[in-house]
Chains A and B, each alone.
Chain A
Amino acid sequence: MTTVSYVHQFAYGYDEDGRRLPLLKLRLANGTDSALMVDVEAALDSGAERSLLDGQIGVALGLDILSGPSLVFETMGGGILRASLHTVELSNSELGEFKMEVAFSTGEIRRNVLGRDFFDLVQIGFREHHLTFYVTPAP
C-alpha cells in the first residue's frame, strides 16, 4: 500500500446555501500585464477532465477570449458548454504558482471548476467526512 503525505491542508468552503464544498482561492494573471490580476474561488472537481472558468473572468484578465483554441465540454446530462483555451498564471498563497492552459467559457457559468488538468500538477487528497482537502504542490 502506498502512503501519501501532504504539505498543505484546507478546510472546505461554503456555497450560498451554507453547504460545504472543496473550494480553492486562486489569483489569476495573464502573464503579460500584472495590473490585470483577479482573485477567484474554484471548486475542485475530480470528475471534470479540464478546468473551466467563467469567460468574463478571462475578459477581466485582458484576454481576447474567442481568440484561443476552442473546446467543447459535454456535461453528464448531454448538455454542451463551449470554451476557449488560454494559458494563464494561477497562484495560491500557500501552494505557489502554476502556469496552466485553462478553458474559459464562451457563455455564463455559475461555478469555476478546477479539474484533472490541475490535479495533474499537484497531489491532492480529500477527507470528505472531515470537510478537509490536502495538497502537495508537486505532481
Chain B
Amino acid sequence: MHACRKDTFAGKWIVLEGEEIMAHSVNAARAVEEARAKGVAVPFVFYVEPPRQPGVVRIGL
C-alpha cells in the first residue's frame, strides 16, 4: 500500500478491489458489509497495522 494511504488507514480494516479501496472501518465486519453493498462479491479484507517504532519486532500474537 502506498505510504500516504498507509498512514491514513493505519489501525483500520480495509477492503481492496484491485488497487481501489472499496471500504474501510475499525471493524472488519463493517468494512465487509460496506464493500458488499457496493457490489463486491467476495471482499478481500485486511488490517493495516500501525507503523512500528524503531527497535520494535513482532513475535506471534
Q: Determine if A111 is an interface residue (Cβ-Cβ < 8 Å).
A: yes
The answer for the CA separation of A15 and B47 in the assembled complex, in Å, is 10
Contact (A47, B60) CB under 8 Å given A17-B51, A60-B28 = yes
Q: Which residue of A lies closest to B50 (CB)?
A: A16
Determine chain B's interface SS by DSSP, over half rule. Answer: loop
Q: Which residues of B contact A109 (CB under 8 A)?
A: 61
- Selected from A17, A39, A45, A75, the residue in CB contact (under 8 A) with B42 is A39
Across the two chains, which residue of chain B brings its CB closest to A60?
A: B32
Whether B29 sits at the interface, judged by CB under 8 Å, is yes
Size of interface on A: residues with Cβ below 8 Å to B? 27
Given contacts A38-B45, A60-B29, A60-B45, contact A52 B1 (CB under 8 A): no
With A56-B13, A76-B59, A111-B61 as contacts: A15 and B49 at CB distance below 8 Å = yes
Residues of A within 8 A of B28 (CB): 54, 56-57, 59-60
Contact at B43–A38, with CB atoms within 8 Å? yes
- Name which of B1, B33, B42, B43 has the most chain A CB atoms within 10 A of its CB: B42
Does A24 lie at the interface of the complex (its beta carbon under 8 Å from any beta carbon of B)?
no
